[in-house]
Amino acid sequence: MRSYAIAVALALLSGASGAAPLEVLCNSLPPAAEVRVLFAPSAAQLDDSKSARDLRLAADEEGAAFRHLGVTRATLQRELDIRLEGYTDERTGRACAWPKVQLHLSVSPLLVELARELEGSPCLRAHVFNHEMQHVAIYNAGAQRAAAQLEREMRAELNQHQLDGDSSTLMRDLREQLAQRWLPRLDDLVAEGNREHDALDAAEERQAFSVCNGVLPQILKTIR
């Protein structure tokens, strides 16, 4: 399960126009955008209080009962800090600026849930826990990769040219570009990790009934 929350912080830095013409001031700006996409990996928390049935209901999806002995829930949090650094000609309202964008990514909550029924087999419980922790590792590594890739792509594009236009719309246009283009791009990059999650689950499906001396059918009988 993956869902997203966005927090947006905005600040506009705009230097007052001096005596020099706007073009001269614009050319004097250091020629670069600043783009940073930072991911802080999280440690997973464990909840083993729910029944397999409750886990299955919460997952809201069909599937073999053994798939709901363990669940990993991850929500990617995104905090965006956008600034513009440049000059405005107060007479004409024209402005030039370089964008300074920081996107902080974190995963919260990152929760591993193990079905209560696993109490009946420490071996199977450890096996399922290990499987869920591999999902956690895939999630953290995938978000890290996505952050690095997004940073490269945004930096390449935002460095192509200085922003130039009406001072009242520069920030709005930049916000729109981030919301409509780059945050969906982030979703796509994060979704590239889905193949690894699917491959892990396919492997689990092949071995689930043979691990721990084939204890799984006994555990499944205890699920109501």
CB of 141 to Zn ion, least distance (A): 16
Encoded tokens for 184 = 């969906």
CB of 63 to Zn ion, least distance (A): 10
Bridge partners, residue 94, by sequence: 89, 166
Task: Give the residue with the Cβ less far from Zn ion, 151 or 201.
Answer: 201
Task: Give the residue with the Cβ less far from Zn ion, 168 or 207.
Answer: 207
Between CA 122 and CA 135 the distance in angstroms is 20
CB of 184 to Zn ion, least distance (A): 26
DSSP designation for 48: -
Task: Give the residue with the Cβ less far from Zn ion, 79 or 201.
Answer: 201
Q: Which residues contact 159 (CB under 8 A, 6 or more apart)?
A: 32, 33, 35
CB of 138 to Zn ion, least distance (A): 10
Task: Give the residue with the Cβ less far from Zn ion, 43 or 202.
Answer: 202
Encoded tokens for 169 = 């719309």
Between CA 76 and CA 140 the distance in angstroms is 10
For Zn ion, the binding residues (CB under 5 A) are 201
Residue nearest to Zn ion (CB): 201
